[in-house]
Amino acid sequence: TVKVIPGGGTVNPSLVNKGDCELGWGLPFMNAAAWNGEDPYTSKHSNLRAIAGGMSMNYFHFYVGAEIPQKTMDEVFKQKKAIRIGISPAGTSEEWVFRKVLAHYKTDYKDLEASGFKFFRGSYAEQASQFKDRNVDAVFTFLALPAAAVTEASIGRSLRIMSFPTDLLESLSKYGIGAGKIPAGTYFKIANANEDVTTAMAGSVIITNKNLPDDVVYRIAKVIHEDLDQFRKIHGSLTPYELKNAVTGTGIPLHRGAEKYYKEKGVLK
């Protein structure tokens, strides 16, 4: 019997660590924070283990109305040129990353609000709706490509996706967040549709508890990777996934059962 328990990138590591769930989806940067007992977690999640990483790459999108004068993230946050920004609710993984972005710029919500910034918190769909209705000037979100919410936001209002500067990407890398590109042509209606956008990214991770039997985890890893064509049909973001990706970007140690399988397959020494 499979029971699905509602969660998310921030909550799932705690549910799995406590044994409330045998399996969960995680993100490498939240897994690492949980493992180390760092913000937003208050204790080390030492029971966490990974079965496979590098799945379903998700990309941070900081998109703005094409008409706003600010052209870079430095202009927005370093120079504190006030705009209204749509973000995810507190407690979500992307809101956690947004706070790390603000920390890089040596600022926070209170400081920016004092400078005239306003923040709207809502779901992806609500963010897109508020953007189209011109109630916000920009949105910070974290989605697989192509993101339906970004496509929806671009209908009826021209937008640009801002690139993340190199020094910001270096700051975020300390938390296990990678760098990548949103390829030109991903969103054909946006103002900079013909440009690659440099941004932060992270893949999804199948996480488990260290006490799940080795043979069970071994079989899970085997079932996934013995028929990758079938596995990739689950979602389009899994199309590029390969066996070699499984041992990357986990943020936490692999489970012993998974290690055994990957060593047999030669992707882990």
In tens digits, the chain (269 residues) has pLDDT values of 556 555 667 899 999 999 999 999 999 999 999 999 999 999 999 999 999 999 999 999 999 999 999 999 999 999 999 999 999 999 899 999 999 999 999 999 999 999 999 999 999 999 999 999 999 999 999 999 999 999 999 998 999 999 999 999 999 999 999 999 999 999 999 999 999 999 999 999 999 999 999 999 999 999 999 999 999 999 888 899 999 999 999 999 999 999 999 999 999 99
Question: Does 6 reside within a domain?
Answer: no
Domain check: are 121 and 182 in the same one? yes
pLDDT for 6 equals: 56
Entry field: residues in the chain: 269
Domain total of the chain: 2
Same domain, 230 and 167: no
- The answer on 22 and 83 residing in a single domain is no
> Do you find a cis peptide bond into 89, omega within 30 degrees of 0?
no
Residues 154 and 30 in one domain: no
117 and 64 in a common domain: yes
pTM over the 0.85 mark = yes
Q: Would residue 232 count as lying in a domain?
A: yes
**248 shares a domain with 238:** yes
Residue 5's pLDDT is what?
55
Q: Say whether both 76 and 127 belong to one domain.
A: yes
Residue 48 is predicted with a pLDDT of: 98
- Enumerate residues 6+ apart whose C-beta is below 8 A from 25: 7, 9, 12, 204, 205, 206, 207
Q: Do 154 and 34 fall into the same domain?
A: no
3-state secondary structure of 158: coil
* Boundary residue ending a domain (162, 184, 202): 202
Based on the domain organization, do 82 and 106 belong to the same domain? yes
Which tokens hold the place of 111? 């400081």
CATH number at residue 253: 3.40.190.10
Residue entry with tokens 């913000």: 39
Q: Which of 178, 202, 226 is the last residue of a domain?
A: 202
Q: Is 257 among the domain residues?
A: yes
Kindly state whether residue 7 falls inside one of the protein's structural domains. Answer: no
CA end-to-end distance (rounded Å), the chain: 34
Distance (Å, rounded) from C-alpha 170 to C-alpha 117?
A: 25
Distance, in Å, from the CA atom of 131 to the CA atom of 64, rounded to the nearest integer, reads 9
Handedness of CA 236, 242, 243, 245 (dihedral sign): negative
pLDDT of residue 134: 97
Give the pLDDT of residue 2.
53
88 and 78 fall within a common domain: yes
At residue 7, the pLDDT reads 60
Residue 213's domain comprises 12-56+204-265
Q: Which tokens go with 186?
A: 């991903």
Helix, strand and coil content of the chain, in percent to the nearest 5, comes to 35, 20, 40
Indicate if 257 and 164 belong to the same structural domain: no
| Domain presence at residue 2 | no
Q: Pick from 202, 228, 243: which residue ends a domain?
A: 202
Residues 75 and 147 grouped into a single domain: yes
d(CA 250, CA 243): 14
| Site of tokens 């020494």 | 269
With both helix axes pointing from N to C terminus, report the angle between 28-36 and 93-104 in degrees, rounded to the nearest 10. 80
